[in-house]
């Protein structure tokens, strides 16, 4: 088939090469680097099943949490964040190029449930264990609870009924309050405003606790009916106040989340991995290309051309699919270089054998390609099977490896058989073969 339509195949290879070059140029813009190479933060959070709000399924809670985390992450200014569900209750967050993992974790991991509750007027001592000062479950009525303050030594006796939540907030911003203290001031939505005004009107002279994630931040006395705005005090630094305001604007998570997996690659480590990956790739490729040219002479050089095209096509495929190049992916590319040249080795050895048995160049080339074909395909099928399995079960870096392995080997079937064959067809007229 290739023998008959040599010029068609050569033309096709030319067109594909041009397309591939167009697809990968410029390489640094077209190739998607994994977090392990470009640096960044990979976090996995688990939504706590036990603390779901009533009438909410885990699935709904995770969906809402993803939406809210996306709002918060947008404020980080990361170029292409990935936020997605994994399994039932896990959320995967990838922040390429993020240099401050602590800030990311503070922003994402905070539940930010803001509640307004009344401080009880009853004496706290009636409900606590006189020795430890802790809540005494035997004495505590169902509608009361003891909530710690932001300063861990403080305790408040709080009426459990939730009067309002942060859902009524329209906006929040850091500002400077009394005596130059940094506070977070908030403004409510019109409905929130009406409700707040109503509730403060009903409870004049009572203390209103502003509770964030089950800590009382402040508990001012209601002097008059207030509508629409207020502030959260808490001895913040400006940075803390800004982050809290940001989280309040983005909304509370439906349930607390717990960090269960963290991978941070700093910029210097990523740079180091890229450098080492490049160096090992260049040396490895040079060894293979050099050996082929040395051992099979001109035929080896043709195999080298096929190998370079194989590499180019693989990069193009990665660019088109927006596949991610990872550190194991680089290893995969190197491995496929070695595996794909195997095809040409089998063909060349067969041609040598046929020539030794006295066949003409023309017949030897035909027989070499024909007889080796079945062996080449057979020997690669199982590699494709494992690459497919690794792609299906693996994640992140392993997936990068599986992708390069699968497509590298598949493309090699084309380059080692079609590309090198088409070039060999031009050599059929010679008396002897440099092989």
- The answer to whether residue 197 forms part of the interface with another protein (CB under 8 A) is no
Which own/partner pairs from 370-374 qualify as long-range (CB within 8 Å, at least 24 positions apart)? Answer: 372/343, 372/346, 372/347, 373/417
Q: Work out which of 18, 19, 221, 287 binds another protein, going by CB under 8 A.
A: 287
331 touching another protein, by CB under 8 A: yes
* Site membership for another protein, residue 261 (CB under 8 A): yes
Paired tokens of 99: 């240099």
How many CB atoms within 10 Å of residue 364?
22
HSE value, Cβ hemisphere, 13 Å, CA-based, for 229:
9
Binding mask 59-98 for another protein (x = CB under 8 A): ----------------------------x-----------
| Residue 426 contacts another protein per CB under 8 A | no
Q: Compute the distance between CA of residue 256 and CA of residue 109 in angstroms, rounded to an integer.
A: 8
Nearer to another protein, 148 or 284 (CB): 284
* 221 forms part of the interface with another protein (CB under 8 A): no
For 75, which DSSP code? T
How many chain residues interact with another protein (CB under 8 A)?
Answer: 72
Q: Does 49 bind another protein (CB under 8 A)?
A: no
CB 350 within 8 A of CB 372: yes
Nearest to 189 by CA among 171, 208, 163, 215: 171
- Binding segment toward another protein, per CB under 8 A, in 118-126, 175-183, 315-323, 394-402: 394-402
Among 9, 186, 217, 401, binds another protein (CB under 8 A): 401
Count CB atoms within 10 A of the CB of residue 112.
21
Q: Is 328 in the site for another protein (CB under 8 A)?
A: yes
Which of 337, 355, 365, 419 lies at the binding interface for another protein (CB under 8 A)?
A: 337
Per CB under 8 A, the list member of 126, 154, 239, 262 interacting with another protein is 262
CA 327, chain centre distance (Å): 15
Provide, rounded to whole angstroms, the least separation between the CB of residue 395 and another protein: 8
Q: How far apart are CA 93 and CA 43, in angstroms?
A: 5
With contacts defined by CB under 8 A, name the span among 20-28, 135-143, 170-178, 347-355 that binds another protein.
347-355
**Nearest distance, CB of residue 371 and another protein, angstroms:** 8
Kindly give, in sequence order, each residue whose CB lies less than 8 Å from that of residue 362, ignoring residues fewer than 6 positions away: 428
Stretch that binds another protein, among 20-28, 238-246, 261-269, 357-365 (CB under 8 A): 261-269
């Amino acid at each position: 088939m290739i023998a008959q339509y040599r010029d068609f195949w050569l033309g096709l290879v030319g067109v594909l090469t041009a397309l591939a070059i167009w697809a990968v140029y410029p390489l640094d813009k077209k190739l998607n680097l994994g977090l392990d190479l470009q640096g960044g933060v990979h976090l996995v959070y688990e939504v706590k099943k036990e603390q779901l709000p009533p009438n909410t399924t885990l699935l709904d809670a995770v969906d809402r949490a993803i939406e809210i985390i996306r709002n918060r992450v947008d404020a980080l200014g990361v170029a292409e964040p990935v936020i997605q569900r994994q399994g039932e209750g896990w959320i995967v967050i990838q922040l390429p190029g993020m240099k401050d993992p602590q800030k990311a974790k503070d922003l994402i991991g905070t539940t930010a449930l803001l509640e307004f509750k009344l401080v009880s007027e009853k004496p706290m001592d009636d409900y606590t264990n006189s020795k430890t000062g802790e809540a005494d479950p035997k004495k505590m009525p169902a509608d009361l609870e003891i909530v710690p303050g932001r300063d861990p030594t403080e305790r408040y006796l709080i009426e459990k009924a939730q009067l309002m939540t942060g859902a009524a907030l329209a906006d929040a911003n850091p500002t400077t309050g009394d005596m130059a203290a940094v506070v977070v001031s908030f403004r409510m939505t019109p409905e929130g405003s009406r409700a707040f005004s109503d509730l403060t009107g009903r409870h004049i002279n009572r203390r209103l606790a502003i509770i964030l994630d089950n800590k009382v931040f402040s508990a001012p006395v209601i002097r008059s009916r207030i509508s629409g705005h207020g502030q959260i005090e808490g001895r913040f630094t400006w940075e803390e106040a800004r982050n809290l305001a940001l989280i309040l604007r983005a909304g509370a998570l439906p349930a607390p989340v717990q960090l269960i997996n963290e991978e941070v690659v700093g910029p210097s480590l990523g740079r180091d991995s890229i450098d080492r990956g490049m160096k090992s790739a260049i040396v490895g490729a040079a060894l293979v290309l050099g050996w082929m040219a040395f051992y099979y002479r001109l035929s080896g050089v043709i195999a080298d051309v096929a190998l370079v095209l194989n590499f180019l096509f693989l990069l193009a495929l990665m660019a088109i699919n927006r596949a991610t190049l990872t550190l194991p992916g680089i290893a995969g590319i190197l491995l496929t270089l070695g595996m794909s040249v195997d095809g040409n080795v089998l063909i060349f050895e067969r041609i040598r054998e046929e020539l030794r048995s006295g066949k003409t160049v023309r017949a030897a080339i035909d027989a070499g390609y024909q007889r080796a074909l079945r062996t080449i395909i057979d020997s690669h099928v199982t590699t494709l099977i494992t690459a497919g399995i690794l792609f299906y079960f693996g994640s992140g870096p392993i997936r990068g490896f599986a992708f390069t392995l699968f497509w590298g080997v598949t493309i090699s079937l084309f380059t080692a058989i079609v590309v090198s064959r088409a070039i060999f067809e031009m050599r059929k007229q010679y008396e002897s073969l440099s092989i």
